[in-house]
Amino acid sequence: MTYIPHSPKETEEMLATIGVKTLDDLFDVIPAKVRFPKLNLPDALTEMEASEMLSELADANESARQLISFLGAGMYNHYIPSVVDHILRRGEFYTAYTPYQPEISQGTLQAIFEYQSLMTALTGMELSNASHYDGATATAEAVNMAYANFRGKRNRIVMSPAVHPQYREVVSTYIQAQDIHLVGNDPAKVSDDPSTIINDVDEATALVVVQYPDFFGRVYDYTKLAEEVHAKGAMFCIVANPIALGMYKTPGAMGADIVVGEGQPLGLPMWFGGPSLGFFTTLKKYVHKMAGRLVGETMDSKGQKAYVLTLTAREQHIKREKATSNICSNQGLLALGSAVYLSVVGKTGLKQVAELCYQKAHYAAEQINKIPGAKLAFKSPFFHEFVVKFDRDVAELNEHLLEHGVLGGYDLGKDYPALKNHMLIAVTEMNSKQQIDLLVDILSEVDHA
């Protein structure tokens, strides 16, 4: 199968039109000595030899399939129905490109439209874009949108320190060349009361960003906080875990203006950290400030249902210096995967997944809290992640767990100095009671004296 749509005759006609004889003539401006550089490559391998070598390299990786994993912190080990991968590998989706021409891209456009519809229903918002690169990028784009909405007249972004550290780093990178000031995200001021963040909101604040559940797994109802933020004239953004939305109040119901997050839990593998999917949902009144593209449903001249790119800011392509964002693309294939996942599990199935995560995590927390030298760090309600304070170094504990084939939790001391010896443990529907009991047994055998 060739990916070149032109016949030899058509190629000759195009070359004749521009006045050259061969395709090689198009590269005459490049000096001959660097035109085809000699690469320092090893000798060629047969297909069998190459397959064996790649298999050996792949076997050096450790994955959640080989280990019992309790590591989360933004990337989670959930069950993925086989139909998701089956659909993604279909040629018409796998090789599809950006759907600029709707007349030949109806399948891709409909897939994006269905994804958008599912994400708005999940988050309780009015519209969704076609996706971003990952949750961190989506969060940064929320900051850009809020700043653009106030036309620079408000330039303070108040971000909770309980938002994912990597998300906060990406936001910090985004605003380097802009007159935007990030406040409130001091990792030394982790509070068990999210309402205190309102103290940082003033008349110059454009956006307040919180996470739900937050980076430590804690669950709060932000309805009152959203009202207080709006009373001060600022916008309110919630970074949400999509699986948790299967059983908790939607961010839309809390009064959020923007809801973003990481879509990886929705039917996407962890893939050693990526690629991933960032979802972005908001209210209709902000649609012209939203980054990315928006697919809409309409009727063609024959009265048939049709799909088109309804909105994609031209400044993103042309007047880039005036653009709210320069992100024009989306994770089309991965958005399709999440749409397939949500369609397959349905509302009831998603609730069951969320409840399994919740119940198993609370069983694990209860058992770990009985271990001498281990104590739950927070009293707040939590979803499927929780923080345990140990009287031992977390790195040492994780090394001991790994010796027994268990991937331990996240060492919070790396990002929060005040949380030294604190481990963030994630439990999903993939963790059985036997695995949780094994984790508890291994942690119990460590000398905590």
Tokens of 93: 């989706």
> Residue 230: its pLDDT value, please?
98
Q: Which residues contact 328 (CB under 8 A, 6 or more apart)?
A: 292, 293, 312, 316, 317
State pLDDT tens for residues 391-411: 999 999 999 999 999 999 999
- Rounded distance between C-alpha atoms, residue 324 and residue 258, angstroms: 15
Look at residue 342 and tell me whether its pLDDT is greater than 50. yes
Tell me the pLDDT of the chain averaged across its residues.
91
If pLDDT is split at 50, 70 and 90, which confidence band does 425 have? very high
Check pLDDT > 70 for residue 3. no
* C-alpha pair distances (Å), 236 with each of 198, 207, 209, 364: 11, 6, 6, 33
For the residues 23-51, what does the mean pLDDT come to?
87
pLDDT for 254 beyond 90: yes
The average pLDDT across 228-253 equals 98
CATH 3.40.640.10 holds for 82-342: yes
For residue 340, pLDDT over 80 is answered with yes
Within 10 angstroms of residue 85's Cβ, the number of other Cβ atoms is 13
Which of 19-28, 395-404, 419-428 is predicted with the least confidence, judged by mean pLDDT?
Answer: 19-28
Predicted pLDDT of residue 1: 43
Amino acid in position 401: L
Query: Two tokens at 280?
Result: 């972005």
**190-231 residue pLDDT tens:** 888 888 999 999 999 999 999 999 999 999 999 999 999 999
Chain centroid offset of residue 128 CA: 14
The domain ranges of the chain are 68-79+346-444, 82-342
Q: Report, as an integer, the average pLDDT of 331-350.
A: 95
The pLDDT of residue 321 is above 80? no
Asked if residues 68 and 405 have their Cβ atoms less than 8 Å apart, the reply is yes
- Residue 269 burial (C-beta neighbours within 10 Å; 0-12, 13-18, 19+): middle
Q: Which fold would CATH assign to domain 68-79+346-444? A: Aspartate Aminotransferase, domain 1 (3.90.1150)
Confidence tier at 188 by pLDDT (50, 70, 90): confident
pLDDT at 131: 94
CA Rg, the chain, in Å?
Answer: 25
> Per-residue pLDDT tens for 77-127?
999 999 999 999 988 887 777 677 787 888 889 999 999 999 999 999 999
- Report the share of the chain in percent with pLDDT over 70: 94
Separation of alpha carbons 401 and 422, rounded Å:
15
Say which residue, 341 or 37, is predicted with more confidence. Answer: 341
**Region 154-168: what's the mean pLDDT?**
96
**pTM of this prediction?**
0.86
Q: Taken in order 121, 124, 128, 130, is the CA torsion positive or negative?
A: negative
Residue 335: predicted pLDDT: 95
- Mean predicted confidence (pLDDT) in 137-151: 94
Amino acid 53: pLDDT:
92
Residue reference for tokens 């792949």: 58
Model pLDDT for residues 294-318, shown as the tens digit of each residue: 999 999 889 999 999 888 765 556 6
Please check the confidence at residue 381 and state whether its pLDDT lies above 80.
Answer: yes
| Percent of the chain topping pLDDT 90 | 72
* Tens-digit pLDDT profile for residues 326-339: 776 788 899 999 99
